[in-house]
Amino acid sequence: MRGWEGARYGILAWYANPLFLLAVLLTMMRYFRAAGTLAGLAAVIALTSFAAPTLAEWFGTSATSFTFRAGFYVWLLGIVLLFAGLFGLLGKRFSGR
C-alpha cells in the first residue's frame, strides 16, 4: 500500500504531507496564521499513525503490521516543529512583545 491509498483503509496519516507542504509555502509567504492552522492540522493527522491498526479495524479492514523507524520520527518531528514554531511566533505577535 502506498501512503495516499491509505484512506481506503482508514489510515489518513499520509495526508499530513500536502498540508505540511502548504504550511511551509504559506510560512515562506508570511501568512503565519493560515500556516499555523495547516501545520496544526497536519500534526494531528500525522499523529493518527499511532492509531492506524485501530482505525483500519473501524473501516472493516486490517492494516499490515509495521514498525516505526527513524525516518517516521524525523517526519513527525518536522511537522510538529513547524507547528510549534508558528504557534510560538503567533503567540509573541499577539501578546504585544
Beta strands in 5-70 (DSSP E): none
Per-residue pLDDT of the chain (97 residues; tens, 9 = 90+): 566 566 666 678 889 999 999 999 999 999 999 999 999 999 999 999 888 777 777 777 776 667 889 999 999 999 999 999 998 876 666 555 4
Distance CA 76, CA 71 (A): 9
Q: What is the pTM of this model?
A: 0.80
Domain ranges of the chain: 3-95
